[in-house]
Amino acid sequence: AQAMVAESDPQASALGYKAEASTVDKAKFAKYADGQNCSSCALYASKSAEAGACGIFAGKMVAAKGWCNAYAKKG
């Protein structure tokens, strides 16, 4: 299985990625709105109930309940 993106990964950190969307720093990432998470993001490709691939983080998995500043609501 592919590794999960670490919140401390430089790219993840720059985008404010959190594996648990409710812990996003809302002061720094004002774009975040309650209820948003990777599973409803257009860049997310689900691989299991918990995790999936993300177009931003090649070769790693993000949490279904995660979030980052590149969030784009699935159309």
Residues that bind ligand SF4 (CB under 6 A): 17, 38, 41, 43-44, 54, 56, 62, 66-68, 70-71
Instruction: Specify the residue, 27 or 62, whose C-beta has the smaller distance to ligand SF4.
Output: 62
Torsion over CA of 42, 49, 69 and 21, rounded to 10 degrees? 140
Q: Is residue 71 a contact partner of residue 29, using CB atoms and an 8 Å limit?
A: no
3-state secondary structure of 66: coil
CB of 3 to ligand SF4, least distance (A): 14
CB of 75 to ligand SF4, least distance (A): 13
